[in-house]
Amino acid sequence: MTIGARIAQYRKQAGLSQEALAEQLGVSRQSVSKWESGGVMPDLDKVLAMSALFGVSTDALLKETPEEETPETSAEAPLAEESVDEAAQEAAEDYLEEDADFTAQEPEPPEASPVPPLQAQTPAPGKGKRIRRVIAAVLAAALVIAAIAVPVYFGGVREAWWALNGGKVQYPYVLVSGMGGWGDGVGINAKLPYWGAGTGSLAEYLTQEGYTVTEATVGPFSSAWDRACELYAQLTGTTVDYGAAHAKTHNHARFGRTYTEARVPQWGERINGGQRVKINLVGHSFGGATVRLLAALLAHGDAAEQQTTGKETSPLFTGGKADWVCSVTALCAPHNGSSLTCILDEAGGLLTLGSATELLASVVYAVGGLAAPVDETYDFMLDQFGITGPVSLQEAYDIVTSSGNDNVAYDLSPDGAAALNARIGTAKGIYYFSYAYTTTRKGALLGGQVPLTGTLPVLMPTALAMGTYTGTTPGGIVIDESWQENDGLVSVVSAQYPTGDPHADLPEDGSALETGVWYVAPTRSGDHGTVIGLQAAAEPTHQFYDTLFEMIDGLKR
């Protein structure tokens, strides 16, 4: 039987197709087909991998036998068919017994007639064969010991395989800012980093700790959808495609900026023995909605975009890429919106201003147009709406209202967040974590929640307003007392997990975690900016991310 036939036989005995075996070995199906047909011999590392996978020795794979014989009936069956230790012992015993018999039968040479030197160096008949058998048994035993010891040393068969093929792939971390935030592509980041703030650049610290970290730059006031599309283009080094269906619905351009360099090279590819290059997404505030939506689009795609553009659909909307993401972590994220938008709209109604959130968005867009010529300092990134220069407040308002709520203000409202949650959901294969902060306590006199003295001064009024507010949204969502505890911008109940998604408390004992489930950490003390280093000390800030990243790096792959 040929080597190729043996590979095919053991593959079928293991219940594997050619595609499945190729996936396990990190090669193409065509390579497996060529091995089995005898056209190409597999490399040594692939032989070792198949030996471990099939549970047979390398001899069983490489030793050819006549076509009419099989490994079970051949007179010289592979050593892997029996216990290697027993084979080695029997071979050694055979050698000792046969050698003893040979010695007993050999007459003692006369002392006066020594054996000529040439005759004394000639091997005895059959002795070379016996030696080869012993050596083969010892080598087979060594291979078995190595097959057991190497995986144990590296922590498993997969880990050993990775070590032989370049090592375990480290998944990069992608940090995504919230509303009004920025990444390392904006000039202001050099003077005041968003991630780290007063504690210094968090990305630089984490890089020194051995992690691969990138700070993405997405539209600070754009919708979660637009931001997710921009994030995908930056990570892959492509042109932003907002989707033909989305662009038509929301009255803006389909394509945006072009990024010539990928922030995560080889993202989604298989390297180092077949390992997929995945990413860990970390979003603060509205960045939480951004990374959740990106992960959902990668996993599930979007039917409307597929129906509109067919074969020209962006890979972002085709789905089937849940295994491109290892984890999603949301920090102070308004999963269910912020009651602050309700407070602003009610105040706008009293002043007959209409929707205060839309008005504020219009002001932001108008300012963004004025700032466009100097966007190297702060980039509003509103190109999709044609805002690349000055626009009046009325023009900005028309853009906001005609976009069909395609802006951050709507997505931050409880009604907008509910609509977003309805299209996102979790995905199997991805781990989810959320962290909520609180900067309020129960009020002694007025009831509700009042801000603590350590709260950022700018967040004192909003923390107090949210801590005493109750009401009902236009969409019928009841904002009751459970929403009052907050971090100054986001209610604790909203930051814990998206309504309707599977969730559980983050275990403290390090027990195994499941994918597709939100793990909610115990609520931490601090306001909305504490987790990114605003008015916070460097040591606890660094310790938080050290602990978080260590946990994520230790997740089961």
Active site (catalytic) residues: 285, 487, 528
For residue 514, is it left (φ>0), alpha (ψ between -120 and 50) or beta? beta
Instruction: Specify whether the CB–CB gap between 350 and 343 falls below 8 A.
Output: no
Which residues have C-beta within 8 Å of that of residue 80, sequence separation ≥ 6?
56, 57, 59, 60, 140
Residue 258, CB half-sphere, CA atoms under 13 Å: how many?
Answer: 1
Which residues make beta-bridge pairs with 438?
525
Going by C-alpha positions, the residue among 413, 392, 410 that lies closest to residue 401 is 410
**Rounded Cα distance, 412 and 385, in Å:** 20
Biggest CA-to-CA distance, the chain: 130
Instruction: Specify whether the CB–CB gap between 231 and 294 falls below 8 A.
Output: yes
Percentages of the chain per state (helix, strand, coil), in multiples of 5:
50, 10, 40
**Rounded Cα distance, 14 and 6, in Å:** 12
**Rounded Cα distance, 179 and 176, in Å:** 10
**Rounded Cα distance, 353 and 364, in Å:** 16
In the chain, the amino acid numbered 509 is D
Instruction: Specify whether the CB–CB gap between 488 and 457 falls below 8 A.
Output: no
**Rounded Cα distance, 241 and 247, in Å:** 9
**Rounded Cα distance, 279 and 277, in Å:** 7
**Rounded Cα distance, 495 and 504, in Å:** 14
DSSP 474-515: TT--EE-GGG--BSSSSBHHHHH--TTS-EEEPPSS-----T
**Rounded Cα distance, 218 and 379, in Å:** 9
In the chain, the amino acid numbered 258 is T
The first and second tokens of residue 69, run together, are 């014989």
Beta strands in 332-487 (DSSP E): 431-435, 437-438, 440-442, 449-451, 471-472, 478-479
Report strand pairing: 279-284 vs 325-331.
parallel
CA dihedral 504, 507, 510, 516 (to 10 degrees): 10
* Number of other residues whose CB lies within 10 A of the CB of residue 371: 16
**Rounded Cα distance, 535 and 539, in Å:** 12
What letter would DSSP give residue 554? T
The first and second tokens of residue 181, run together, are 């935030």
Going by C-alpha positions, the residue among 425, 454, 458, 422 that lies closest to residue 438 is 454
